[in-house]
Structure 1
Amino acid sequence: MNLRDLVRQLFLTSGKSIAEATDIKDLERFIKKFSPKSVGKKLIRFGGEGDGAYLLPDDLSGISKCFSPGVDEMSTFEEELAERYNIYSFMTDFSVDKPSIDSKFFHFDKKFLGNKNDEKFIRLEDWVQNNTNDDSDLLLQMDIEGAEYEVIIDTPKDVFKKFRIMVVEFHHLDMIFNKNAFKMVEAVFDKFSSDFTVAHIHPNNSRPIISKNSIEIPELLEFTFLRNDRVHLSDEKLKFPHDLDEQCAPHRPSRHLPKCWWN
């Protein structure tokens, strides 16, 4: 069984018995550790309206390249990076033949991001190494439908430290109610804990929020991380939803980040 299948199995079995349930104190500790902080920079929106758009810290000057696995049918995010900051985007997705927008700033590979290299998959470490030859900072925007867990586990921390800003969409996150899944998910997040701070979290309302006791976990959460050498923590009180947040799926019920994550 590969890691992606394990994630799905853990998600399907999460919380089915008391013996399997994660201790509430561990859940509270996890949420506190990875709750959003005021990083000393305002947030700006890239990608237009609805799904495929993200809030980033206003700290993009000097970023040379964006790595954006998971292309699907939209490239507005990458297009705005090119228009506003001349950032080149490297995109990869085996499910499409090319991005929806033609641009001299785009480079596309027809492969899925994964934990091996073959005719269908490429590892993040090798993809970045193949397309960078300088020391300038990078940007990562990763939405790969649940494969993020295996990719993060497979990728050395030194590779992630090349990214000044990272946006990662985490799928099936409510599986942390299962104590076995919790250990795996916490190990994934701990890859970032010493080098990055969470600058923003946005729940994708295409999936529900699962509640157990006092804990609410959205199934699908978009995390924005800022590398710690760019962070200037302040006491500014955060507000959710942010003024620039929009629902990803306008036809679905609105969902906002539960207060246990930020209040």
Structure 2
Amino acid sequence: MKTFPDLLENAICFEKPRRLTDVSSWHGHIPFAFSLVRMLRPTVFVELGIRKGDAYCAFCQAVEMLGLNCACHAIDPWEEDVQAGFYGKEVFEEFRAYHDPLYGDFSTLLPMRFDEALERFPEGSIDLLHIDGFHTYDAAKHDFLSWLPKMSHRGVVLLHDTHAYYHEFEVWKLWKELREIYPSFEFTHSQGLGILGVGKDLPDDVGTLLNLEEERANHVRRFFSAISEDWSHRNFSTPLTDRSRILDLIQKLHPIAMDMELIRLGAKHDGGYLVPNDLEGIEACFSPGVGEASTFEKDCANLGMQVFLADRSVEHPAESHDRFNFTQKYVGALTSDEYMTMDDWVASTLPESQSDLLLQIDTEGYEYETFLNISEKLMQRLRIIVAEFHGLDRLWSLPFFTLASRAFEKILRTHACVHIHPNNHAGFSRESDIDIPQVMEFTFLRRDRIRNIEKLSFVDVFPHPLDSDNAPDPTSLHLPDCWYRRKD
């Protein structure tokens, strides 16, 4: 790959991937995976963290198409993982049934922890290693350092999620350190993919890629991103949403300009939100989804509200307050030993009350089903709703759009959107000239609290002076123009 046009010789990058499941975060990198296998021609490939195996099968597919003598190894305990969405043995069995007939001759599935598999590989034996396990900084660094001695003199390491900046996804921190040590290249689409040349005798094409000047590097990024967008649209695993329906939903969510100010509750960065200055008389704040800090909830408590928090994945909130009440359950669409609905939660904690409430919800994608299962009676008690909505870039998938639009439309029957803030922990997608941040924080106010709502105009300037990046380190992410009525 002496120059960028030489990439076009990698015709394999235009091949259609055989396995595309609903886990789509790696799909955008499959064309490059095909090309990398051609450039590197590995003899041993190892992937740490498989889940449903779309990425792993892409590498295996390339090995097969190129007729390489390459031993492939998939390592994953296939057990519950809060970051990957609680998958288990049934996922492994489905993957094995798919994998074995196609790739069983040269590929081995190892259902075990990464450290347990280390002894199976001699030092200096692995040409290509893909790390996509637990995404905290400590876990990712441990995986990298543990497996580094196993890399060959031609070794290349891939790190997924280098451009994912939400909650405990911290691979980007490790990537910032490693790219200063090794020749590197990064794709920023599909949550980011970092390529490190850890071997001293890299093939010429790989070495050229890792040392491209920025202008040529951007050509490469656009090239592979465009390929993945093209085949993902032509071969989308679900029907695509019509562009006009997405624009219509966005327009319904345009924030209105109220005659009351917005104030900020909580921290300056992640955990702080803008709400209308209409808090007097709110009895309690309900907060499903407990993070590393509870500064918003603490401010609510200091204003005299009772605060009810819930999360199954933690034993207790990170902070304490006399007005905090914690339940170790998830909030969702049903009530069971592990879950509870919003209605059941409110009824069990405030059985005699009918006063106004504040809802602040951040449940990592489960917010849609939660809203669809809140009764109309409870919706009328929620004076203010602050909700972080995840996976918004999937609005192009018609099944997801149907779910999300129903949740938004239900909220809009009783409430009006008064503020939107994109979370710069995550990135954004651009399809058909529509920019959609992956994660955004919405503030809604009940419509009866807004005077002359039918005559109000819309907010035409963003960001708000009180807005602040969720994460101070990644690049700022401002609300795209299509999400509000911008002044011309």
Q: Same fold (TM over 0.5)?
A: yes
Match of 2:288 among 69, 81, 91: 69
CA distance in structure 2 between the aligned counterparts of 1:41 and 1:51, rounded to whole angstroms: 24
2:476 corresponds to 1:260: no
Aligned twin of 2:273: 54
Greater Cα shift, 33-42 or 17-26: 17-26
Match of 2:354 among 135, 138, 141: 135
For 1:113, the aligned partner's letter is: V
Partner SS for 2:22? helix
- Larger radius of gyration, structure 1 or 2? 2
Aligned twin of 1:31: 250
Contact residue 286 and residue 307 of structure 2 kept, 8 A: yes
Aligned twin of 2:466: 244
Aligned twin of 1:42: 261
Relative distance call for 1:260 and 1:236 in structure 2 (3 A) is: closer
Contact residue 254 and residue 458 of structure 2 kept, 8 A: no
- Give TM-score scaled by structure 2 length: 0.50
1:99 deviates by 1.7
Partner SS for 1:125? helix
For 2:463, the aligned partner's letter is: P
1:191 deviates by 1.2
Aligned twin of 2:368: 149
Contact residue 10 and residue 175 of structure 1 kept, 8 A: no
CA distance in structure 2 between the aligned counterparts of 1:193 and 1:237, rounded to whole angstroms: 17
Partner SS for 2:473? coil
CA distance in structure 2 between the aligned counterparts of 1:143 and 1:78, rounded to whole angstroms: 12
Relative distance call for 1:236 and 1:28 in structure 2 (3 A) is: closer
Deviation string 1:1-41 (CA, Å, 9 cap, x unpaired) is xxxxxxx9386589722573322211111110111111222
Relative distance call for 1:11 and 1:184 in structure 2 (3 A) is: farther
Runs of 4+ in 1 over 6 A off after TM superposition: none
1:61 deviates by 0.5
Contact residue 11 and residue 175 of structure 1 kept, 8 A: no
Match of 1:165 among 381, 384, 393: 384
Specify every segment of 5 or more residues in structure 2 that has no aligned partner in the other structure, as ranges: 1-20, 29-228
Aligned twin of 2:208: none
Partner SS for 1:9? coil
Deviation string 1:128-167 (CA, Å, 9 cap, x unpaired) is 1112222210000000111111211222222222100000
CA distance in structure 1 between the aligned counterparts of 2:445 and 2:431, rounded to whole angstroms: 30
CA distance in structure 2 between the aligned counterparts of 1:106 and 1:239, rounded to whole angstroms: 36
CA distance in structure 2 between the aligned counterparts of 1:201 and 1:11, rounded to whole angstroms: 26
Specify every segment of 5 or more residues in structure 1 that has no aligned partner in the other structure, as ranges: 1-7
Contact residue 202 and residue 223 of structure 1 kept, 8 A: yes
For 1:121, the aligned partner's letter is: Y
CA distance in structure 2 between the aligned counterparts of 1:178 and 1:11, rounded to whole angstroms: 11
1:237 deviates by 4.3
2:315 corresponds to 1:93: no
2:391 corresponds to 1:177: no
CA distance in structure 1 between the aligned counterparts of 2:458 and 2:402, rounded to whole angstroms: 32
CA distance in structure 2 between the aligned counterparts of 1:97 and 1:109, rounded to whole angstroms: 9
Partner SS for 1:189? helix
CA distance in structure 1 between the aligned counterparts of 2:365 and 2:24, rounded to whole angstroms: 11
For 1:149, the aligned partner's letter is: Y
CA distance in structure 2 between the aligned counterparts of 1:227 and 1:155, rounded to whole angstroms: 15
CA distance in structure 2 between the aligned counterparts of 1:224 and 1:148, rounded to whole angstroms: 14
Contact residue 11 and residue 172 of structure 1 kept, 8 A: no
For 2:233, the aligned partner's letter is: S
Contact residue 72 and residue 95 of structure 1 kept, 8 A: no
More relative contact order, 1 or 2 (CA 8 Å, 6+ apart): 1
Aligned twin of 2:336: 118
1:253 deviates by 1.1
Match of 2:233 among 17, 22, 39: 17
Relative distance call for 1:259 and 1:106 in structure 2 (3 A) is: same
- Give TM-score scaled by structure 1 length: 0.91
The percentage of counterpart residues that share the same residue type is 37
Relative distance call for 1:31 and 1:80 in structure 2 (3 A) is: same
Contact residue 419 and residue 443 of structure 2 kept, 8 A: yes
1:101 deviates by 2.2
Partner SS for 2:280? coil
Contact residue 46 and residue 53 of structure 1 kept, 8 A: yes
Q: Which structure: greater helix fraction?
A: 2
CA distance in structure 1 between the aligned counterparts of 2:473 and 2:422, rounded to whole angstroms: 15
CA distance in structure 1 between the aligned counterparts of 2:406 and 2:443, rounded to whole angstroms: 18
Partner SS for 2:474? coil
